Amino acid sequence: MKKILLLIAIMGFVKVNAQDRVFNYTYQSGVLNKGQKEIEIWSTLASGRDNFYRSIKHRMEYEVGLGGKLQTSFYLNYRYSKSIVEENGIQSLKNDVDYSFSNEWKLKLSDPVANRIGSALYFEYTLAPGETEIEGKIILDKQIGNFTHAFNLVGEYEFEKEFKPDGTRIKTENERELKVELNYGLSYRIKNNLSVGVEAMNQNQIAESKWENSVLTLGPCISYSTNGFWVNLTVMPQIANLKGGGLELNEHERLQTRLIFSYVF
């Protein structure tokens, strides 16, 4: 009887702690167990462009483990930004508010501890009033002792409608953009529930078959987890625009900071 109770306790502990993640921008291969659920709250603060710019984006995520190493998630997204824009030499203050819905599917293929390398496939679509995004990821990770490595190859295709005044009518234009992103995370576990590390992200934008920029950001991350709850913080300053030199401060920010906290139940 004691052995059965001990086995149940161990299984309960593994279930509660199965989905701890130590990065914010770089995904790991782990998925929730069947029937397990998780609530995640994301907040990303971005600031610093050629003119004044600041935005904050929130995501509320509800994850469900489906079994068979598959999970799905549903997101409600909200973004608010304030910026100074310039047109024909005239500056004006611009406020933007965006709402959208996202759905994610993630399939684990191998484990970062039991197998030579952990791996997973990821698919997400986002629907907004004037925009649709489709995103895919190849996720690789490996845990060696107290070190965790993770690498993502990301592709995102965006369809957006632009609305412009044209006399007494509103003219619509369709814009398409491809984004290719490389993410890498390295973390070291100081204690069972505390890890520190670094994340790197290289974002590439391709519009009208033209490679516009290749932005590199790099910064520290910290992760803490306990009893089914975890919280991560990553600070990502822009390091360089690898295509063109200097910093790219037209469509990218000088600094991003992301906080995610979660409860598994």
Q: Which two tokens stand for residue 196?
A: 């520190």
> Is residue 148 within 8 Å of 119, Cβ to Cβ?
no
Q: Which two tokens stand for residue 181?
A: 């992103």
Q: Residue 11 has what pLDDT? A: 38
Buried b / exposed e over 238-260, threshold 16 CB at 10 Å, is: bebbeeeeebbbeebbbebbbeb
Q: Rounded distance, CA 194 to CA 259, Å? A: 15
Q: Residue 168 has what pLDDT? A: 73
Instruction: Centre a 10 Å sphere on the Cβ of residue 215 and count the other Cβ atoms it contains.
Output: 24
Q: Rounded distance, CA 147 to CA 143, Å? A: 6
φ, ψ at 152 (rounded to 5°): -125, 135
Q: Residue 1 has what pLDDT? A: 43
The bridge status of strand 169-191 relative to strand 37-47 is: unpaired
Q: Which two tokens stand for residue 63?
A: 């994850």
As a 3-state breakdown, the chain gives helix, strand, coil percent values, each rounded to 5, of 5, 70, 25
Q: Based on the structure, what is the number of domains in the chain? A: 1
Bridge partners (DSSP) of residue 212 are none
Q: What residue numbers bound the domain in which 170 lies?
A: 2-264
SS3 for 116-168 is: CCEEEEEEEEEEECCEEEEEEEEEEEEEECCEEEEEEEEEEEEEEEEEEEECC
Between CA 90 and CA 98, with CA 95 as vertex, the angle to 5 degrees is 135
Task: Provide the CA 233 distance to its chain's centre, in angstroms.
Answer: 12
pLDDT tens digit string along 36-66? 999 999 999 999 999 999 999 999 999 999 9
Along the 265 residues of the chain, how does pLDDT read in single tens digits?
Answer: 444 333 333 333 334 344 469 999 999 999 999 999 999 999 999 999 999 999 999 999 999 999 999 999 999 999 999 999 887 878 889 999 999 999 999 999 999 999 999 999 999 999 999 899 999 999 999 999 999 999 999 999 998 877 777 777 877 778 889 999 999 999 999 998 999 999 999 999 998 888 999 999 999 999 999 988 999 999 999 999 999 889 999 999 999 999 999 998 8
Sorted by sequence, the CB contacts under 8 Å of residue 26 that are 6+ apart come out as: 150, 151, 152, 183, 184, 185, 199, 201
CATH number at residue 149: 2.40.128.130
CA terminus-to-terminus distance, the chain: 26
Q: Rounded distance, CA 36 to CA 249, Å? A: 41
Sorted by sequence, the CB contacts under 8 Å of residue 236 that are 6+ apart come out as: 25, 199, 201, 217, 218, 219, 255, 256, 257, 258
Q: Residue 12 has what pLDDT? A: 39
C-alpha distance from residue 36 to each of 4, 19, 28, 71, 232 (Å): 22, 10, 17, 9, 21
Q: Residue 9 has what pLDDT? A: 36
Q: Residue 14 has what pLDDT? A: 39
